[in-house]
A and B are shown apart, each in its own frame.
Chain A
């Protein structure tokens, strides 16, 4: 009898906890972003901004918002957008109201340090792999603190394909190692 009562109590606790978790999630403000999204124990370094460009509101606070799709000429004209369909443009990811945040398709505003959530909207498989350490680069300690890089540290978000590199020199062929016989002995 005691055992049954205990079991019922346990079930009640479990159900209670299960209900509380999503409620807590809902209770959070959408701007702050859900803390549960952050993979545990992973430190993300600051986003790779061009020097002096952030916060964006420094300049944008005095500028009128122009949501017209257009070729940028006065500023940011160095940005070449080569990412997905031709119809893509600034405000698919950037937020016209608050320039210091990015905007998800759902309308939720997120910090630049959480940009992986933005990328993960389309590249969900990569986000999944990144969270468990399969995609992307981890440095630090294999059994302790790890540092993760944001998507934007390796991929230019405006033109994400990797640029080709000059490889380091090839190995010396065995016949050429050490010069003539006795040379290095």
Chain B
């Protein structure tokens, strides 16, 4: 065996040069735009002006890629608003219209397929039992007798385990309760996916395939803007819609009116009426994630 390694100055110089060359290759292989992206700081460290520069860069990048104008909004949380969602388990018929309305609104990859909403078919006899639930049901007609349906999406936890485990702070909870991801900061480690008890986070394993004619050009920086490969994404309560006062796309499409949305802090909102007057069920309540997504029985 040889002795302790000698630190030969020439070897160190060589390694230094090699590392420098590697960075150089990485940079010369990139356009000036991605050099800016390479040295981009965390969103929370940017001034408003710096953030606007970044947004302009993204808009330009998307316009080049999709050949049409894309707006990236940065609407901040509304004052005095905490969003909450309620879903009527006694009325959902499992038609999956919400799943596909969400895909269209939020620019998910079509292939490889990403769905933010998963509808679980469950047995009425057994009640809510995720181990026996079937997300792949393909019956001729729904509701199938003897079954009920439970759509699951991000529960926008007040104490989100996914946020705690992120090693780079690429995901956080906004003031209005929406848990968001910065796709430019995410390193794709998928710790958050392991931490989420609801399976609500999805990873772009491949380059997202989003046809330009199906792209929704009205986007939000922390929501439905087109994602790159290798990042995690999730339901944002349609942040690009709800921060403008609109209902989420899944609420608008639901043919049975099972989906309810509103401000938890407004005593006259639909969600408050439900929480105060209906039987409410919190999914995996024992984990103390404190979801802002409530299931209820309307009848």
Q: Does B138 contact A (CB under 8 A)?
A: yes
Q: Is the CB of B270 within 8 A of A138?
A: yes
Q: Does A26 contact B (CB under 8 A)?
A: no
Q: Does B263 contact A (CB under 8 A)?
A: yes
Picked from B136, B242, B245, the residue with its CB within 8 Å of the CB of A173 is: B136
Tell me the bound Cα distance from A140 to B206 in angstroms. 36
Picked from A129, A136, A170, A184, the residue with its CB within 8 Å of the CB of B137 is: A170
Q: Name the interface residues of B63-118: CB closer than 8 Å to any CB of A.
A: 78, 81, 93-97, 99-100, 111-113, 115, 118
* Chain B binding surface SS class: loop
Known contacts A142-B269, A164-B141: does B277 contact A134 (CB below 8 Å)? Answer: yes
Give every chain A residue within 8 A of B111 (Cβ-Cβ): 177-178, 184
Q: Is the CB of B263 within 8 A of A168?
A: no
Known contacts A170-B138, A171-B113, A184-B205: does B242 contact A142 (CB below 8 Å)? Answer: yes
The 7 A-B residue pairs with the shortest CB-CB distance, nearest first, are: A137-B257, A184-B206, A133-B270, A164-B141, A168-B96, A178-B112, A132-B273
Q: How far is the CB of B105 from chain A (nearest CB, A)?
A: 14
Q: Is the CB of B257 within 8 A of A135?
A: yes
Using an 8 Å CB-CB cutoff, how does the interface string of A56-98 with B read, 1 for contact, 0 for none?
0000000000000000000000000000000000000000000
Using an 8 Å CB-CB cutoff, how does the interface string of A148-185 with B read, 1 for contact, 0 for none?
01000010000000101111111111000110000111
Using an 8 Å CB-CB cutoff, how does the interface string of B253-264 with A read, 1 for contact, 0 for none?
011110011110
Q: Is the CB of B99 within 8 A of A184?
A: no
Q: Does B289 contact A (CB under 8 A)?
A: no
Q: Does A4 contact B (CB under 8 A)?
A: no
- With most chain A CB atoms within 10 A of its CB, the pick from B93, B143, B257 is B257
Give every chain A residue within 8 A of B135 (Cβ-Cβ): 170-171
Q: How far is the CB of A181 from chain B (nearest CB, A)?
A: 10
Known contacts A133-B260, A154-B256, A164-B143: does B95 contact A141 (CB below 8 Å)? Answer: no
Using an 8 Å CB-CB cutoff, how does the interface string of B120-146 with A read, 1 for contact, 0 for none?
000000000000000111111111000
Give every chain B residue within 8 A of A162 (Cβ-Cβ): 93, 256
Q: How far is the CB of A100 from chain B (nearest CB, A)?
A: 28
Tell me the bound Cα distance from A181 to B246 in angstroms. 41
Tell me the bound Cα distance from A92 to B268 in angstroms. 35
Q: Is the CB of B298 within 8 A of A167?
A: no
Known contacts A167-B96, A177-B113: does B245 contact A141 (CB below 8 Å)? Answer: yes
Q: Does A6 contact B (CB under 8 A)?
A: no
Q: Does A50 contact B (CB under 8 A)?
A: no
Q: Does B274 contact A (CB under 8 A)?
A: yes
